Structure 1
Amino acid sequence: MTIDLHGRTRRLELSDQNLRDFEAVVLDSAPDGIVLTRSAFYPGGGGQPADHGVLLWQGVETRIVGVRKGDDLHLIPAEGDPLPPVGTTVRAAVADERRSALMRTHSGLHVLCGVVFRDYGSLVTGGNMDVLTARMDFNLPEVPPGFKEAVEDACNAEILADRRIDVRVLPREEAFAIPDIIRTATNLVPEDVPEVRVIDIVGLDTQADGGTHVASTKQIGHIKVAKIESKGRGFRRLRIAISS
């Protein structure tokens, strides 16, 4: 099975992160999920929430408020919205403002991860994000003086450097030959995955990742390290906000 196929659905967003509109045929349709032949809705994962959007069919609109992953990808319709019948061709639109903000946020987290690993040697122990806000946990035993300001300044310097963000899909063996490809304390890539999607902020951070990203660091905007919290001995949580 290829990396861009989930059940019966071809995942379009993995190869074209800027795709917002597409057509597809309905394979299954129920109040708890609609299955399409192809989809650009990011289904959620790696801390990035699922996309929202709409399906348009025969003059009718169905709002999509999430995605459920199972044997297929099930687009979750808003409660009470009409359901397109099986076999219907739908025009789908991913909510652009939300997706674009999440792409900026996700890429911002990778910049943060790259800076903290480069400058302090700390691995990620957890993370999560919402629209233009996020948090990332690190195995950082001590917080040096001026750490918050130093990390924020370094992140924004990397943004101003306008580093290119490349996406590659590599055979598992080739991907894991890249030094420090896993930046988490625990390897979260399942052992039976034959291909690995790699996000490369050229010159800063290269790691396995399945989410959506902007094309260069300058598109992120500005990172503010809003807060640093202690999460037990040796673990620190950094909360960030993204702005224009």
Structure 2
Amino acid sequence: MLWQGVQTRIAGVRKGDDLYLIPEEGDPLPPAGITVHGAIEDERRTSLMRTHSGLHVLCGVVFRDYGCLVTGGNMEPGVARMDFNLPEVPPGFKEAVEDACNAEIVADRRIDVRSLPRAEAFQIPDIIRTATNLVPPEVEEVRIVDIVGLDTQADGGTHVASTRQIGRLRVAKVENKGKGFRRVRIRIED
């Protein structure tokens, strides 16, 4: 955020009755009532876009090859995790998933974004890839992200234009998170 020639970096956002911006520790705070302007740090945003698109490739591969839905996830620039309802980890899972994801990345698949009326969006098979539908009932227009030929799902995040822009995806670790749940940790590399 910029104000009177000064920058305050935002470390996060907290939800309450309003959205509260959390400044980076030690950054100056603008005085009450002053006009501020938002600005996006392109390097961080691009890294998040690459990571988010990488998670969609991971989701598409695990759904296609193992039939598993997402039960949770989290991401930071260049690193992320996705949890799946995978009862058992088959032999060679980590390597097979990493190889399949990177094959999809190298395929340079286009990533299209569009919005559809809710009723039309929910007619698309498997449009929800999470174990729980996270699209609130009051949402009338559903944003669809389509990694053409791999993964089509409802999603509100930012993405790169094609899978090749993701870079290399490395499966760093597969963890057991309880009966029937597996966590896949990834890194996005150049």
TM-score normalised by structure 1 residue count:
0.71
SS in structure 2 of the partner of residue 93 of structure 1:
coil
For each residue in 1:80-115, what CA deviation from the matched residue of structure 2 results, as whole angstroms up to 9, or x when unmatched? 624266473x44321222111111111100000000
Please say if 1:83 is aligned against 2:30: yes
Alpha-carbon distance between aligned partners in 1 of 2:24 and 2:187, rounded to the nearest angstrom = 29
> Residue 98 of structure 1 aligns to which amino acid in structure 2?
R
**In the alignment, what sits opposite 2:149?**
203
After the TM superposition, which residues 206-225 of structure 1 pair with which residues of structure 2 at under 5 Å, given as runs? 206-225=152-171
Q: CA 1:226–1:87 in 2, change beyond 3 Å: closer, same or farther?
A: closer
Higher relative contact order (CA 8 A, sep 6+): 2
> Residue 22 of structure 2 aligns to which amino acid in structure 1?
I
Residue ranges of structure 2 left out of the alignment (5+ in a row): none
Alpha-carbon distance between aligned partners in 2 of 1:132 and 1:194, rounded to the nearest angstrom = 32
Please say if 1:92 is aligned against 2:38: yes
Q: CA 1:239–1:77 in 2, change beyond 3 Å: closer, same or farther?
A: closer
> Residue 140 of structure 1 aligns to which amino acid in structure 2?
L
Q: By percentage of residues, which structure has more strand?
A: 1
**In the alignment, what sits opposite 2:117?**
171
After the TM superposition, which residues 1-244 of structure 1 pair with which residues of structure 2 at under 5 Å, given as runs? 54-55=1-2, 57-70=3-16, 72-78=18-24, 81-83=28-30, 86=33, 88=35, 90-244=36-190
The alpha-carbon deviation at position 141 of structure 1 amounts to 1.5
Q: By percentage of residues, which structure has more helix?
A: 2
The alpha-carbon deviation at position 149 of structure 1 amounts to 1.1
Alpha-carbon distance between aligned partners in 1 of 2:18 and 2:91, rounded to the nearest angstrom = 49
SS in structure 1 of the partner of residue 144 of structure 2:
strand
Alpha-carbon distance between aligned partners in 1 of 2:16 and 2:116, rounded to the nearest angstrom = 24
TM-score normalised by structure 2 residue count:
0.90
| Seq. identity, % | 77
- Number of corresponding residues: 189
User: What do you get for the CA RMSD once the two structures are aligned?
Assistant: 1.9
Alpha-carbon distance between aligned partners in 1 of 2:179 and 2:19, rounded to the nearest angstrom = 39
For each residue in 1:40-87, what CA deviation from the matched residue of structure 2 results, as whole angstroms up to 9, or x when unmatched? xxxxxxxxxxxxxx31x3333333332334555443344662426647
Alpha-carbon distance between aligned partners in 2 of 1:156 and 1:143, rounded to the nearest angstrom = 20
